[in-house]
C-alpha cells in the first residue's frame, strides 16, 4: 500500500496554511496541503485589508499573504498544487482523498479548508459578459477601466470596500444596492457616503447587463417605484456574497461526509471537529464563520491542534 498521510489539508488559504504550520510545528511528519489555485486564498483578490492584527499599514491581500507560505513551510509542510475532487472514508478507517486525474491518497485525518467563492447575482448578461466587462475582482480588473465609469453591485463589506478602491482608478462608481441600508460595517458606509466619486443607486435592482461582441456597454437599473435608468458603463463589478466550497465533502450517494448546515457549511464544535471522527473543518467553510482572515487562521490552528490529539489517541 502507498504511504498513508498523517494529515491531509484541503485548501491553502489562511485556514489551510495556518493548519499546516501548527500541524508540522506540533510534530506531525507527513502532512500535505492541497491547493488548486493561488496559495493565500480569496483574500489575495482583495484590494486592501486593514484589520489583520499587527499590520499597521493598509496592504493588498496579495501583500498580506506573500510571506505566509515561506513561514508555514519551514516546519515540513508539503504542498501540492492539485484539486481535490472528493474526501471519503473507507472501511479501513482511513480517509480517501481523490485528487483530479483519479489519483487516490490515504490519510489518517483531514482538515477541510476550502473556503468560499463569490456568488453570482443571477442578473441577465452576467454570464454572457463575464470576463468581457463583468468582474468579481476589482484588484484584478479595475485597471481596465482607468478614468472610466463603472458600476458595483452589492451592499456588503466587499461591495463597499471594492467601490472605494475603484474610485482610485475610475472616474465614477455607481454603487447599486437593492435596499436602503447596508450590510457593510458602519465605518465603511461612512467612507462611501463621503466619497464624491461614488453615486449611490439604492432600492434598485439590475434588470440586465447589455453589450455587444466587444463587451459590456451598460446596464438597466430599476428602482422600487418602477423608474428605470440606463447606466452606460463598460465595467460591472459584482459583490453579492460568498458561497461555501463544500463540493469535496459531497459523496457519490448525494449525502455529505459529515453533518452540514442548511446553508451548506460544515457543522463543527469549538475544536473544529465535524460529526465524523478525524475530519475537521476550518475557516469560511465551517458553520458560523466570521469570514475574516484572522478567524480563518485561528480556526486552522485550532483544527491542527485537535488533529494532533486525535492522532495521538489513535496510536495509543
Contact footprint for ligand FAD (CB under 6 A): 10-16, 34-37, 41-43, 45-46, 49, 51, 83-84, 113-116, 158, 162, 245, 248, 283-284, 291-294, 296
Question: Which residues on neighbouring strands pair with residue 17, listed in sequence order?
Answer: none
Q: How many residues bind ligand NAP (CB under 6 A)?
A: 20
In the complex with ligand NAP, the residue whose CB is nearer, 105 or 163, is 163
Question: Among 70-78, 148-156, 267-275, 300-308, which window interacts with ligand NAP (CB under 6 A)?
Answer: 148-156
- H/E element, 293: helix 293-315
- CB atoms under 10 Å from CB of 277, counted, come to 13
Within positions 248 to 307, which residues make up the interface with ligand NAP, using CB under 6 A? Answer: 291-292
CB 229 within 8 A of CB 209: no
Q: Which of 26, 76, 215, 241 binds ligand NAP (CB under 6 A)?
A: 241
Within positions 41 to 60, which residues make up the interface with ligand NAP, using CB under 6 A? Answer: 51
Residues with catalytic roles? 137, 140-141
Q: Which residues lie closer than 8 Å to 152 by C-beta, 6 or more apart?
A: 138, 159, 162, 163, 166, 173, 174, 175, 176, 236, 237, 239
| Interaction partner, residue 122 (ligand NAP, ligand FAD, none; CB < 5-8 Å by kind) | ligand NAP
| Smallest separation, CB 138 to ligand NAP (Å) | 11
Instruction: Say which residue the cell 457616503 belongs to.
Output: 193
Burial class (CB in 10 A: 0-12, 13-18, 19+), 207: middle
User: What cell does 160 get?
Assistant: 463597499
Which residues lie near ligand NAP (CB under 6 A)? 51, 121-122, 153-159, 161, 178-179, 183, 239-242, 291-292
Amino acid at each position: 500500500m502507498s504511504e498513508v498521510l498523517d494529515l491531509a489539508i484541503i485548501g491553502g488559504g489562511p485556514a489551510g496554511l495556518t493548519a499546516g504550520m501548527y500541524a508540522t510545528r506540533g510534530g506531525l511528519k507527513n502532512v500535505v496541503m492541497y491547493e488548486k489555485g493561488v496559495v493565500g486564498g480569496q483574500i489575495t483578490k482583495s484590494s486592501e485589508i486593514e484589520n489583520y492584527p499587527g499590520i499597521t499599514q493598509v496592504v493588498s491581500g496579495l501583500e498580506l499573504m506573500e510571506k505566509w507560505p515561506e513561514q508555514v513551510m519551514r516546519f515540513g509542510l508539503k504542498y501540492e498544487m492539485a484539486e481535490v475532487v472528493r474526501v471519503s472514508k473507507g472501511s479501513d478507517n482511513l480517509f480517501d482523498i481523490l485528487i483530479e486525474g483519479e489519483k487516490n491518497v490515504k490519510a489518517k485525518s483531514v482538515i477541510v479548508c476550502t473556503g468560499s467563492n463569490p456568488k453570482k447575482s443571477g442578473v441577465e448578461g452576467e454570464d454572457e459578459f463575464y470576463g468581457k466587462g463583468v468582474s468579481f475582482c476589482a484588484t484584478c480588473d479595475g485597471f481596465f477601466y482607468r478614468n472610466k465609469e463603472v458600476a458595483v453591485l452589492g451592499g456588503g463589506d466587499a461591495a463597499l470596500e471594492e467601490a472605494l478602491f475603484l474610485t482610485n482608478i475610475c472616474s465614477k462608481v455607481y454603487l447599486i444596492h437593492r435596499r436602503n441600508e447596508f450590510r457593510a460595517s458602519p465605518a465603511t458606509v461612512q467612507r462611501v457616503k463621503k466619497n464624491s466619486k461614488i453615486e449611490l443607486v439604492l432600492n434598485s435592482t439590475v434588470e440586465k447587463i447589455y453589450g455587444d461582441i466587444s463587451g459590456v456597454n451598460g446596464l438597466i437599473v430599476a428602482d422600487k417605484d418602477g423608474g428605470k435608468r440606463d447606466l452606460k458603463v463598460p465595467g460591472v463589478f459584482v459583490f453579492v456574497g460568498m458561497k461555501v466550497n463544500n463540493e469535496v465533502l459531497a459523496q457519490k450517494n448525494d449525502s455529505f461526509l459529515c453533518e452540514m448546515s442548511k446553508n451548506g457549511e460544515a457543522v463543527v464544535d469549538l475544536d473544529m471537529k465535524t460529526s465524523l471522527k478525524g475530519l475537521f473543518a476550518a475557516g469560511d467553510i465551517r458553520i458560523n464563520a466570521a469570514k475574516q482572515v484572522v478567524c480563518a487562521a485561528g480556526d486552522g490552528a485550532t483544527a491542527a491542534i485537535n488533529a494532533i490529539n486525535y492522532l495521538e489517541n489513535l496510536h495509543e
